[in-house]
Amino acid sequence: MEPAQITVAIMSTMNTTRIVLEYMQSQDMPRRNSDQPRRRLQRGEESDEEIDMDIDLSQGTGPSNVEIMVSLGQVHGVERRFWAWETSTDWWDHVVLQVWDDSQWLRNFRMCKATFMELCYLLSPALKGQDTRMRAALTVEKRVAIALWNLATPDSYRSVGNQFGVGKSTVGAAVIQVARAMKDLVISRVVTLGNVQSIVDGLAEMGFPNCGGAIDGTHIPILAPEHQATDYVNRKGYFSMLLQALVDHKGRFTNINVGWPGKVHDARVFRNSGLFRKLEEGTFFPDHKVTVGDVEMPSVILGDPAYPLMPWLMKPYTGSLDSSQDLFNYRLSKCRMVVECAFG
């Protein structure tokens, strides 16, 4: 109902008018002697106060709609205020940023401080927030640190929030924001093939010629999804997503594929990846072949027995082995260890 309609409804009822008059008279005592007894109005009679009020209302100087509602007890004054929990950020501001050395950064954030600051610089266009009237926005450095701490440790959101002086919902938001920013701004710059010749030379020194990297998959533990949960149970019995990665001789990621349910076999993930298509088409590595004995050998990658044997993918021999096959497996495994170490 509109305020004007409320006013009309109130003024049209005699009993309501009397209540309003009593409220207004109690606020303006000089107009009436408090010791003078009040005479009850008989039907049809009209007091001076009622006439005055009618005139004031017609002139717009009478009680407002809010005053009338307050007099009826239908509107109560509510004190509104902004609040926020007081939290401490001393540990982050004065210990981590000012006291920790690179060894402590590596143990807790899995990177040194210089790498951390470079990462913050790359992510700042997507993570820089704006201050509000309630509180100052989290800095880019603190937002990235919260996300990295959560990803690098098994701590809960509440525990991470207590460490950094923020709420657990802030921790969850920071993890998602940083992950999206890294996907949009960083992955294409960091996960790249790089200098192929240096990779080939590095793996050749380790024992395998004309090799462009080692491939493997790892399971990333997740919470059970609401739908099709059984598809995410891996062979070890827990819920996971698969990450397939190709790495170079220094363990740096040169290609990744993530998102398949943990139940899926590594070979299936590989055959449905963009890496497989590029290797099959011969477009991932430059056309660089070497001759080993009397065989022309293209650039290859190394995998474990779960992967299919291809002209450009080498895997170990299985079964009863002779000395040359055993030596082949030894050199392949030595080079393939770079991907295991990268996951570790």
pLDDT for 13? 55
Is residue 92 helix, strand or coil? helix
Section 86-106 average pLDDT? 88
Rounded distance, CA 240 to CA 230, Å? 10
Section 140-159 average pLDDT? 92
What tokens appear for 147 in the block?
């996300």
**pLDDT range class, residue 58, cuts 50, 70, 90:** very low
Spacing of C-alpha 139 from chain mean position: 15
Q: Do residues 314 and 332 touch, judged by C-beta distance below 8 A?
A: yes
Question: Looking at per-residue confidence, does 280 or 51 come out higher?
Answer: 280
pLDDT for 86? 66
239-295 per-position pLDDT tens digit = 999 999 999 999 999 999 999 999 999 999 999 999 999 999 989 998 878 887 788
What tokens appear for 156 in the block?
């809960």
Question: Looking at per-residue confidence, does 49 or 191 come out higher?
Answer: 191
The answer, yes or no, to whether residue 57 has pLDDT greater than 50, is no
The answer, yes or no, to whether residue 172 has pLDDT greater than 90, is yes
The answer, yes or no, to whether residue 43 has pLDDT greater than 80, is no
Rounded distance, CA 197 to CA 19, Å? 94
Average pLDDT, the chain: 82
The pTM of the full predicted model, rounded to 2 decimals, is 0.65
Cα–Cα nearest to 284, from 254, 245, 314: 254
Give the pairing of strands 240-247 and 211-221: antiparallel
- In the chain, the amino acid numbered 313 is L
pLDDT for 288? 79
pLDDT for 70? 54
pLDDT for 84? 58
Compute how many other C-beta atoms are within 10 angstroms of the C-beta atom of residue 36: 7
Most confident segment among 125-139, 284-298, 317-331: 317-331
Give the pairing of strands 253-261 and 290-292: unpaired
Residues 6 or more apart in contact with residue 61 via CB below 8 angstroms: none
Helices and strands of the chain, counted as H and E runs: 15, 7
- In the chain, the amino acid numbered 149 is W
Rounded distance, CA 168 to CA 98, Å? 25
**Exposure string for 85-116, b = 16+ CB within 10 A, e = fewer:** eeeeeeebeeebeeeeeeeebeeebebebeeb
Rounded distance, CA 188 to CA 177, Å? 17
pLDDT for 232? 95
**pLDDT range class, residue 76, cuts 50, 70, 90:** low
Q: State percent of the chain over pLDDT 70.
A: 75
Cα–Cα nearest to 279, from 313, 245, 253, 304: 313
Rounded distance, CA 255 to CA 273, Å? 10
Cα–Cα nearest to 93, from 135, 131, 139, 127: 139
Is residue 331 helix, strand or coil? helix
- At residue 269's C-alpha, the angle toward residues 268 and 273, to 5°, is 115
Cα–Cα nearest to 323, from 315, 331, 311: 331
